[in-house]
């Protein structure tokens, strides 16, 4: 869709909402216009007439024109969670640049990479390890893990084209599906998780922390980690199933890298120290964003990272703009009362039906509606607020409603080759056909849904979520 046509359709959508749909009695005209602006921004994230950050800036400008004070419109950029995302992404940049991320991947491959399935587990364990502190699936999967996967595939003469099925197609598909599980296991799994946590606090009065998310996701997450590479293996069985050369390759690469450099040591200590402080935040009470800022300050003060490097990390600052803007627009939307009106209307349709049945049905709808989204962020912004409000409105315990939606939102990324920003990058490498990608994604989705709606629910019952 062309830029002009896409923007024109958003203008038409705005006019339809404001002038053709009656304003609910409990919402002011200004609040209804605010709602229309928010819906148009979400629609724009789906149709993509502008980059996300540019679209968000246009939306913020429209909200200011609608009468919202400028200090309120720009308030999202002062939120600690917004700074947490950008600081963690800058630390991730340093892990990539100094070679630490590649070293971690090679260590896993050397340990368990004697079979093609073992290599897939090694790549997944690398992603899961990094997800504990790197809030970008693209930085981890595409930037840190993909180069190792491609090197191993090419080691066995598997390249895009006729030889893809020798090994590369399986490794790329398994790596992508595993990265979605990694996103679901940590608050820092990806940027939109922090956005979802803020929405949970505002809409459901549920405080989501790094530790609480980790505890909630650890059991079903580990089960998914164990199952997903095997499911992909059954869907895209590689011709080469034993890879004794892979550990040797990893060992050789590690030998070439030599001992940890000064930059790697400092980055490793920062990464481990920040992670440890996040895990123990309930004991010492230090703000997680403050901890991340201390880690970045150490990198800058020691010269491990220069300010020029930090300033040039375009993807991190891009996330800062769209995340801070969308966070504030979500708060302004909540203030209008629109989500409450929608929730009350939908909840009235489920009167008399046990909430357990409604919960499962809504989660299935929530999950598979991601076929229509090219962004987990857009999906979460569009569907998390009304769905969590509906679920709580019909009697679902708030903790169960919040964590089930937040975790499943990440797992939806595996459905398609455009499910999140990493998808087009990995798909574009050329190893996996669209049919195979979608087929593997669908089978993995069935396994993940079964795991999280059974083992996950049982674990959450034990935790007292319901």
The answer to the question of residue 57 being in a domain is no
The answer to the question of residue 424 being in a domain is no
CB atoms within 10 A of CB 311: 11
Spatial distance between the Cα atoms of 23 and 55, rounded to a whole number of angstroms: 25
Spatial distance between the Cα atoms of 184 and 128, rounded to a whole number of angstroms: 10
Alpha helices, DSSP H only, in 16-160? 29-47, 52-65, 70-73, 80-98, 100-112, 116-131, 137, 146-155
Burial code (b: 16+ CB inside 10 Å, e: under 16) for 66-80 equals bebeeeebebbbebe
The answer to the question of residue 259 being in a domain is yes
Note the pLDDT tens digit of each residue in 42-52.
Answer: 788 777 788 88
Residue carrying the six token digits 């950008």: 86
Nearest CA-CA partner of 329 in 65, 59, 144? 59
Which pLDDT value is given to residue 346? 66
Phi then psi for 420, rounded to 5 degrees? Answer: -155, 175
Model pTM score: 0.80
Domain that holds residue 111: 80-315
The answer to the question of residue 365 being in a domain is no
Which residues lie below 8 Å from residue 336, measured CB to CB, with a gap of 6+?
Answer: 27, 28, 31, 32, 34, 35
Q: Determine whether 101 is exposed, middle or buried from the number of CB atoms within 10 Å of its CB (0-12, 13-18, 19+).
A: buried
The answer to the question of residue 426 being in a domain is no
Tell me 304's DSSP state. Answer: S
Indicate the Cα dihedral angle 231, 151, 317, 13, nearest 10°. -50
The DSSP bridge partners found for residue 115 are 242
Q: What is the mean pLDDT for each group of 10 consecutive residues in the chain (466 residues)?
A: 83 92 88 90 80 89 92 86 82 85 87 89 91 81 83 86 92 94 92 87 89 95 96 94 88 92 93 84 81 93 93 85 82 78 70 86 88 78 83 91 95 87 82 92 96 97 94
Q: Report the length, in residues, of the chain.
A: 466
Cβ(189)–Cβ(182) under 8 Å? yes
The answer to the question of residue 203 being in a domain is yes
The answer to the question of residue 330 being in a domain is no
Number of domains in the chain: 1
Which pLDDT value is given to residue 381? 78
Q: For residue 196, give both structure tokens.
A: 């979802």
Which residues lie below 8 Å from residue 439, measured CB to CB, with a gap of 6+?
Answer: 235
Q: Determine whether 407 is exposed, middle or buried from the number of CB atoms within 10 Å of its CB (0-12, 13-18, 19+).
A: buried
The answer to the question of residue 86 being in a domain is yes
């Amino acid at each position: 869709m062309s830029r002009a046509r896409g923007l024109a359709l958003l203008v038409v959508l705005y006019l339809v909402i404001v002038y053709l749909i009656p304003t609910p009695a409990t919402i002011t005209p200004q609040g209804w216009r605010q709602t229309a602006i928010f819906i148009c921004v979400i629609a724009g994230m789906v149709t993509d007439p502008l980059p996300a950050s540019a679209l968000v800036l246009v939306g913020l400008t429209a909200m200011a024109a609608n009468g919202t004070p400028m200090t309120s419109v720009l308030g999202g950029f002062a939120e600690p969670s917004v700074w947490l995302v950008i600081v963690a992404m800058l630390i991730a940049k340093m892990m990539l640049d100094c070679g630490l991320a590649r070293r971690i991947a090679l260590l896993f491959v050397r340990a368990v990479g004697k079979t093609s399935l073992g290599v897939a587990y090694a790549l997944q364990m690398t992603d899961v390890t990094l997800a504990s502190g790197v809030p970008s699936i693209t930085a981890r999967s595409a930037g840190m893990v993909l180069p190792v996967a491609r090197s191993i595939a090419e080691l066995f003469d598997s390249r895009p084209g006729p030889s893809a099925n020798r090994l590369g197609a399986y490794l790329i598909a398994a790596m992508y599906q595993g990265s979605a599980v990694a996103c679901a296991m940590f608050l820092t799994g990806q940027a939109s998780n922090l956005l979802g946590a803020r929405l949970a606090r505002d809409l459901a009065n549920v405080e989501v922390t790094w530790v609480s998310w980790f505890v909630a996701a650890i059991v079903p997450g580990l089960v998914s980690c164990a199952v997903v590479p095997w499911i992909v293996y059954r869907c895209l069985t590689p011709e080469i199933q034993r890879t004794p050369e892979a550990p040797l390759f990893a060992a050789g690469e590690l030998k070439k890298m030599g001992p940890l450099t000064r930059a790697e040591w400092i980055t490793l200590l920062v990464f481990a120290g920040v992670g440890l402080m996040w895990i123990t935040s309930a004991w010492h009470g230090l703000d997680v964003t403050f901890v991340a800022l201390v880690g970045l300050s150490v990198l800058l003060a020691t010269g491990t990272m220069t300010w020029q490097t930090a300033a040039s990390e375009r993807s991190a600052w891009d996330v800062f703009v769209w995340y801070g803007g969308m966070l504030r627009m979500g708060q302004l939307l909540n203030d209008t009362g629109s989500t409450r009106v929608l929730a009350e209307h939908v909840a009235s349709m489920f009167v008399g039906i046990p909430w357990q049945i409604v919960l499962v049905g809504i989660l299935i709808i929530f999950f598979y509606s991601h076929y229509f989204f090219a962004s987990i962020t857009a999906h979460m912004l569009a569907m998390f607020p009304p769905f969590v409000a509906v679920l709580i409105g019909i009697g679902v315990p708030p903790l169960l409603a919040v964590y089930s939606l937040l975790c499943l939102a990440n797992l939806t990324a595996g459905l398609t080759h455009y499910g999140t920003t990493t998808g087009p990058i990995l798909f574009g490498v050329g190893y996996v056909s669209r049919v195979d990608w979608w087929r593997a994604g669908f089978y993995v989705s069935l396994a993940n849904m079964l795991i999280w709606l059974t083992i996950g629910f049982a674990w959450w019952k034990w935790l007292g979520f319901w």
